[in-house]
Amino acid sequence: MQVELILIAQLMRNYNSYTNIYCVPVGTLTFNWYDTYGDGWNGGSYSVTQGSATLTSASPSWGSSGSSTFYVSGGTPCTISSTSSYLVTLKFYRECGGIGAPNGDWESYSIDTYLDVFSPSTGLTASLALMETANSGNEITPICPGYNTNCNGGWIPGMQEYIYEGILMLPSQLTDWTILASICCRNPGITNAQIGGNSICVTAIINNTASVGCNNSPTFSQKPVPFLCAGQTYCYNNGATDAEGDSLVYNLVSPLNNHMGGGFMSNNPVPVVYFSPYSASNPIAGTTMFDPVTGNVCMTPNQIQVTIMAIRVDEYRNGMLIGSVRRDIQVTVLSCSNASPMLSGFGGSPNNVSTNPSSAEYTFCADGSSPINLTINGSDPNSSNNLSMVWNNSIPGASFNVTGNNTNSPIGTFSWVPTAANASTKEPKQSA
C-alpha cells in the first residue's frame, strides 16, 4: 500500500517555505538532507507529517548533511500518476569571473531568481522548488592538460556547471504546462544584443495528457560552453537524445529576457533585442549554418566577441507536439594562433565534416543482423598537437573504440547492430 506524506521545509536564509506531497510505501523510511554551503539551515527547519501526526522534524545546525529515520504504519491510500509526477532538473552555467550561482536552492521568487510553473491556456499554476545537487559546481571548461582557467588561478575563461533538482506534481492534465526559470543578470561583455538589466531565462513545456502518458523530455549530452577561434570554422551539436525515441526538431531561436525593470521578473518572457546585423539565425559576426534535423550549428566568426544564442528542441510523437526544452548558450570567440583539428566523415568520407552541418548523414537497414561499422579519422595541421577523441554514448547498444588516442591522428570506430525497434515510425515534423 502507498500512503501520503507531506514534507514542509522552511529555509531561513531566503525566508521561504516549501511544501511537497509524496506517495510512499508503508515501512521504515529515511529523510536525508544536505546543505552545499555548509553552514546548516540558519534557524530553518523541516518536518514530515502524515495527517495530523508529525513523523520526524528538526532544525539542522552546522554541517553539510544529515538524516532522520521514521516509520510509516499506514494511512490514507494514494497512487502516483505517471502523468502528474516529474523529476525536474535545471542546469546553470556561469563564468568563474562572474557573479556566483544561487546557493543551495532555486527560489520560487526573489529579486535575483525566479521559478514558475503555469499553463498559459488555463491560468493554472503548480508549485516547484529546486535544490542544488551534490555533484554541482564542477568546472566543465574544455581545456588541454597543463593549462588553468580563471576557475583555478589561470587566465583562460572558465565555466562551471550547477545542477538543481526537485519533484513537480502537476494538478491536472494539460497540453501546455510551462516551466520557467530565470536569473539576473547576463554577462555585461555580451556584444551582439542589448543586455542591460536582462535576465537569463529558459523554458520547458510538458504535455501530460493521457494521450501522451509517461514521457521524458529530450536531454542534452554536450555541455553548452563553445569557445571559438576567430577565422576558423567550429561545429557544435548539443547532442539531444530522447528516451522514448520521439522525433526531435531543432530550432535556432532568440534568447529570452524575463526582466521587467525595478528588479522584478514575470512569467511573460520576451526575446532579447539583437543589434543589427545579428539575429537568432546568425548570432555571430561571420557566418552560421544550421541543420534543424541534426541540430548541428557550424559557425565561422570573423572577430573576437562574446555572444548569446538559444536552441529549442521540440519533441513530436506521431506528428503531435508533446514537449520542448530550451537552452541558452553564451559563445566566446577568442584570438587563436592554433589551427583547429579535422575529422573525417563516417567511413573516411567526406574529408571534413565541420564544413557542412548535413554532410555526415547516412541511412541503414535495421534488420538485427547487419552490423554498422564506421570509422572517423582525426588529424591536426599542427604536427606537434595531440588529439583526444570521445563520443556522447547517445545510442544504447552501440560502441565507439578509439585507437591512437592522444596522438596526432586518432581513429574512432563506431559499431552497432540496429534492430526493427530502432527504426522509428514517427514522421519528424519540420519547423516553420
Q: CB of 237 within 8 A of CB of 295?
A: yes
Range from 29-33, 260-264, 281-285, 306-310 carrying the lowest mean pLDDT: 260-264
In a domain, 416, yes or no: yes
First to last CA, the chain: 49
- DSSP symbol at 55: E
Question: Could you say which of 307, 334, 361 is where a domain stops?
Answer: 334
In a domain, 236, yes or no: yes
Instruction: Identify the pLDDT of residue 290.
Output: 93
Range from 32-36, 215-219, 263-267, 406-410 carrying the lowest mean pLDDT: 32-36
Instruction: Identify the pLDDT of residue 107.
Output: 58
Range from 62-76, 207-221, 260-274, 337-351 carrying the lowest mean pLDDT: 337-351
Instruction: Identify the pLDDT of residue 33.
Output: 75
DSSP 115-128: EEEE-TTT--EE--
Instruction: Identify the pLDDT of residue 121.
Output: 94
Question: Could you say which of 334, 357, 390 is where a domain stops?
Answer: 334
Among residues 408, 387, 205, 237, which one has the least CA distance to residue 311? 237
Cis peptide before 144 (omega within 30 of 0): no
Question: Could you say which of 286, 311, 334 is where a domain stops?
Answer: 334
Instruction: Identify the pLDDT of residue 361.
Output: 59
* 208 shares a domain with 158: yes
* 190 shares a domain with 158: yes
Q: CB of 425 within 8 A of CB of 431?
A: no
Tell me the average pLDDT across 291-301: 90
Tell me the average pLDDT across 411-431: 70
In a domain, 427, yes or no: no
pLDDT at 337 over 50: yes
* 252 shares a domain with 104: yes
* 245 shares a domain with 102: yes
Residue 340 gets the label, from left (phi > 0), alpha (psi -120 to 50) or beta, of beta
Burial of 162 (0-12, 13-18, 19+ CB in 10 A): buried
Count of structural domains within the chain: 3
Q: Which comes out higher in pLDDT, residue 13 or 92?
A: 92
Tell me the average pLDDT across 298-311: 94
* 24 shares a domain with 8: yes
In a domain, 80, yes or no: no
In a domain, 408, yes or no: yes
In a domain, 79, yes or no: no
Range from 259-263, 322-326, 332-336 carrying the lowest mean pLDDT: 259-263
pLDDT at 357 over 50: no
Amino acid symbol at 7 = L
User: pLDDT band at residue 74, thresholds of 50, 70 and 90?
Assistant: confident
Instruction: Identify the pLDDT of residue 346.
Output: 67
Q: Which comes out higher in pLDDT, residue 253 or 74?
A: 253
Amino acid symbol at 199 = S
Instruction: Identify the pLDDT of residue 38.
Output: 58
User: pLDDT band at residue 429, thresholds of 50, 70 and 90?
Assistant: very low
Among residues 379, 334, 332, 385, which one has the least CA distance to residue 146? 385
In a domain, 432, yes or no: no
* 212 shares a domain with 262: yes
> 136-174: per-residue pLDDT in tens?
899 988 777 778 888 988 888 889 999 999 888 888 899
User: pLDDT band at residue 62, thresholds of 50, 70 and 90?
Assistant: low
User: pLDDT band at residue 432, thresholds of 50, 70 and 90?
Assistant: very low
- How far is Cα 67 from Cα 161, in angstroms, rounded to an integer? 26
- How far is Cα 135 from Cα 161, in angstroms, rounded to an integer? 9
User: pLDDT band at residue 23, thresholds of 50, 70 and 90?
Assistant: confident
> 76-87: per-residue pLDDT in tens?
777 666 568 899
* 289 shares a domain with 163: yes
User: pLDDT band at residue 381, thresholds of 50, 70 and 90?
Assistant: confident
Range of the domain at 183: 85-334
* 272 shares a domain with 128: yes
Q: In what order do the strands lie in the sheet with 286-290?
A: 234-236, 297-301, 286-290
* 238 shares a domain with 103: yes
> 78-126: per-residue pLDDT in tens?
766 656 889 999 999 988 877 778 776 665 555 567 889 999 999 999 8
- All three cell numbers of 130, joined, read 529546486
pLDDT at 208 over 70: yes
Percent of the chain with pLDDT over 90: 29
Tell me the average pLDDT across 368-395: 85
Average pLDDT, the chain: 82
In a domain, 428, yes or no: no
* 35 shares a domain with 183: no
Instruction: Identify the pLDDT of residue 82.
Output: 58
Tell me the average pLDDT across 221-241: 85
* 171 shares a domain with 306: yes
User: pLDDT band at residue 355, thresholds of 50, 70 and 90?
Assistant: very low
Amino acid symbol at 246 = D
* 362 shares a domain with 287: no
> 178-202: per-residue pLDDT in tens?
999 988 888 888 999 998 778 889 9
Amino acid symbol at 265 = M
